[in-house]
Amino acid sequence: MVTSRGCMQLAHALVLVLAMLSPAEGGCRRSSEIECRSGGQCISRDNICNNGRDCSDGSDEDIRLCKLWPPRSDHCRHYPASPFYYAGGCRTAYYLCQNSGRSSDIDSRICKIILQAKLDMKEQDGMNMSSEVISLLNSAVNSTLNHRMPDCPMLYIRVGNDCLSFFSPAKVSWAEARQFCLSIYGDLWHAKDFESYGRLMEYMREAQLTSNYWIGGRYDIDTNAWSWTTDDSAMPLGAPFWSIKYESSCVPRGPPHTDPYSAPPAALPEARCYQAVLSPKQRSPGWCSAMTYEHFYYWSDEMCDEAFSPLCIFTGPTAAPSETEAN
């Protein structure tokens, strides 16, 4: 059984995790300004990556930021405040990010910075968790692994043949969610087979969950496909896995998309158009898979910097079999 000391360690760990997961937002008075990474200094958004150091800490010319920043168009050289040419006009980065139909032309990480109004360029490969937090989380899970009943470790519950953790209190980016799962001997959830997927969907409905959850798929430029992080295998396409989204305009529908390693086939001439579009729509870095309440927990492609909860699957030492398996 779990000791009281183990429970106290777990509570302490969760408090620390939740305290550090609040997203940073800018505090500039003018809507056209953005806050530098440190010092509270505000600069015009037009001065980002313009080869001039306007922030005293240099965050407006961060090499990681400027590598992703869209190129300024020659068509808009007379409009310094709107340097990006899209859809027949000169636009600001803020405009592109605010209009979902054009946001695919700009990296999702740039939009995260623009919309939160602070130059806080975070690494994409993991969460900046302190060693103390990770140690406490590991200890909490270990206390159950070493003294557990025939069930799942602490933080996990039995769903079919899997041990899953629905860590709803945390709202973090996809990379941070994965780091959290790894720290508790798991990984972001991935579909082992159709049965495990069905058990998960059934549980989420019965539990009446309403949070949004990250799962372990993302668009991987190396595989040129939507792939699972566990083994880089391609995620299945189409129904009944992916959600339907709706466009404001009518979109000509192409033949069924069956090859995960290529873009969806183009619509044939005279093809009918529909406002319903099957996810995933995006095929570029910076997009990750989620199960959201809005889409009835069918998979959807979301910007990786959105703030959702981790849905972890236990991958540590083999958990005891369920009662059904034991019998």
Please check whether residue 5 lies inside any domain of the structure: no
State the pLDDT at residue 127: 40
Per-residue pLDDT, averaged over 211-239, amounts to 90
165 and 272 in a common domain: yes
- pLDDT of 108 over the 50 cut: yes
- Looking at per-residue pLDDT, the higher value among 98 and 265 belongs to 265
Single pTM value for the model? 0.58
Please check whether residue 68 lies inside any domain of the structure: yes
103 and 238 in a common domain: no
136 and 172 in a common domain: yes
- pLDDT of 250 over the 80 cut: yes
237 and 174 in a common domain: yes
- pLDDT of 101 over the 90 cut: no
Lowest-confidence segment of 22-31, 81-90, 127-136, 162-171 by average pLDDT = 127-136
pLDDT category at 163 given cuts 50, 70, 90 is very high
- pLDDT of 105 over the 80 cut: no
303 and 176 in a common domain: yes
Return the percentage of the chain with pLDDT > 70, whole number: 77
Tokens encoding 107? 């990296």
142 and 179 in a common domain: yes
- Looking at per-residue pLDDT, the higher value among 143 and 293 belongs to 293
Please check whether residue 270 lies inside any domain of the structure: yes
104 and 237 in a common domain: no
Express each pLDDT in 259-305 by its tens digit.
777 888 888 888 888 888 888 888 888 889 999 999 999 999 998 88
Please check whether residue 171 lies inside any domain of the structure: yes
44 and 84 in a common domain: yes
Lowest-confidence segment of 134-143, 199-208, 248-257 by average pLDDT = 134-143
Please check whether residue 28 lies inside any domain of the structure: no
Mean pLDDT over the full length of the chain: 78
State the pLDDT at residue 323: 46
State the pLDDT at residue 147: 45
Per-residue 3-state assignment (H helix, E strand, C coil) for the chain: CCCHHHHHHHHHHHHHHHHHCCCCCCCCCCCCEEECCCCCCEEEHHHCCCCCCCCCCCHHHCHHHHHHCCCCCHHHCCCCCCCEEECCEEECHHHHHHCCCCHHHCCHHHHHHHHHCECCCCCCCCCCCCHHHHHHHHHHHHHHHHHCCCCCCCCCEEECCEEEEECCCCCECHHHHHHHHHHCCEEECCCCCHHHHHHHHHHHHHCCCCCCEEEEEEEECCCCEEEECCCCCECCCCCCCECEEEEEEEEECCCCCCCCCCCCCCCCCCCCEEEEEECCCCCCCCEEEEECCCCCCCEEEEECCCCEEEEEEECCCCCCCCHHHHC
CATH value at residue 193? 3.10.100.10
The Cα 161–Cα 199 span in angstroms is 9
Return the percentage of the chain with pLDDT > 90, whole number: 23
**Overall number of domains in the chain:** 2
Per-residue pLDDT, averaged over 62-79, amounts to 80
User: Residue 45's domain spans which residues?
Assistant: 33-116
Please check whether residue 66 lies inside any domain of the structure: yes
Please check whether residue 15 lies inside any domain of the structure: no
186 and 72 in a common domain: no
Express each pLDDT in 48-65 by its tens digit.
888 889 999 999 988 878
State the pLDDT at residue 259: 79
279 and 165 in a common domain: yes
